[in-house]
Amino acid sequence: MRRHKEKHYAERIGWLRAAVLGANDGIVSTASLLVGVASANAVHSDILVAGVAGLVAGAMSMAAGEYVSVSSQADTENADLHRERRELAENYEFERRELADIYVGRGLEPVLAQQVADQLMAHDALAAHARDELGLTTIHSARPIQAALASAATFAVGAALPLLLAALSPRDVLASIVVAGSLPSLALLGGLAARAGGARVWVGVSRVTLWGALAMAATAGVGSLFGTVA
């Protein structure tokens, strides 16, 4: 009998979160930086230098932040698994009853719960306790390198769009073109992310676009203020 494997949205959580966060930050932060510097009456070359610096710094910051954050999660998971492994070695019978009690709490009859616990522990005791006692699964396990690389790469891709728009735009309309090109890109990104994650598309579109617009407006205001003062 051929085994049917279903695809679930939860399987995408790890890479989807890092990818969406990276691309979104790449567009928002770089576009906002470009708009802010342009609003301060900087020359075209200075605006581009600021944008490139923002892309490099942002990609490295995203990679470092994701790596540190997810590594901390992985350290916690490994510590829990180490403790569980030790408890299984020192008090197997107690752990067996504990696992059965978990299944009873989920609705199984005590006799059936004990049978299930016995069979699962005979197959892989640590995996059974990791999944049902600690809540750790392969889908949700921490992957620091994957998260770091995905965040850095998607940030750079996202940041490249407003930077390219700035490079091709005349100085006097640069800020307007960057905004006009970045906001629809954010909307598209939000919609794609929502669809991939099984959420409502309009929710993803509206929240990403709103926060992107607010960020660009804020930096434009700061740039105008300092440009006027200068």
Q: Which of 23-27, 54-58, 129-133 has the lowest mean pLDDT?
A: 129-133
Residue 144 to residue 160: CA distance in whole angstroms: 24
CB atoms within 10 A of CB 218: 13
Highest mean pLDDT among 80-89, 120-129, 157-166: 157-166
Q: Given a cut of 70, is residue 18 above it in pLDDT?
A: no
From CA 103, how far away is CA 91, in angstroms rounded?
19
pLDDT of residue 1: 44
Cα dihedral 12→14→15→18 (10° resolution) = 130
CB 175 within 8 A of CB 102: no
- Please give the average per-residue pLDDT across 25-50, as a whole number: 93
CB atoms within 10 A of CB 179: 20
For residue 130, pLDDT over 70 is answered with: yes
- The pLDDT of residue 226 is above 50: yes
pLDDT at 51: 94
Mean pLDDT of 78-98: 84
Q: What is the mean pLDDT of residues 54-72?
A: 89
Instruction: Give the pLDDT confidence score for residue 16 in this predicted structure.
Output: 63
d(CA 185, CA 49) in angstroms, rounded, equals 22
- The pLDDT tens digits of the residues spanning 143-199 come to 788 878 888 899 999 999 999 999 999 999 999 999 999 999 999 888 877 776 677
Whole-model pTM over 0.85: no
Compute the average pLDDT of residues 216-221: 93
Q: How far apart are CA 197 and CA 204, in angstroms?
A: 10
Per-residue pLDDT for 14 more than 60? no
Identify the pLDDT of residue 9: 46
Asked if residue 219 has pLDDT above 80, the reply is: yes
DSSP summary character for residue 141: -
DSSP alpha helix (H) spans, the chain? 13-39, 44-90, 92-105, 110-132, 144-168, 174-196, 201-229
How confident is the model over 58-87, as a mean pLDDT? 86
> What's the confidence (pLDDT) of residue 173?
94
Structure confidence at residue 138 as a pLDDT band (50, 70, 90): low
Q: What value does the mean pLDDT of the chain take?
A: 83
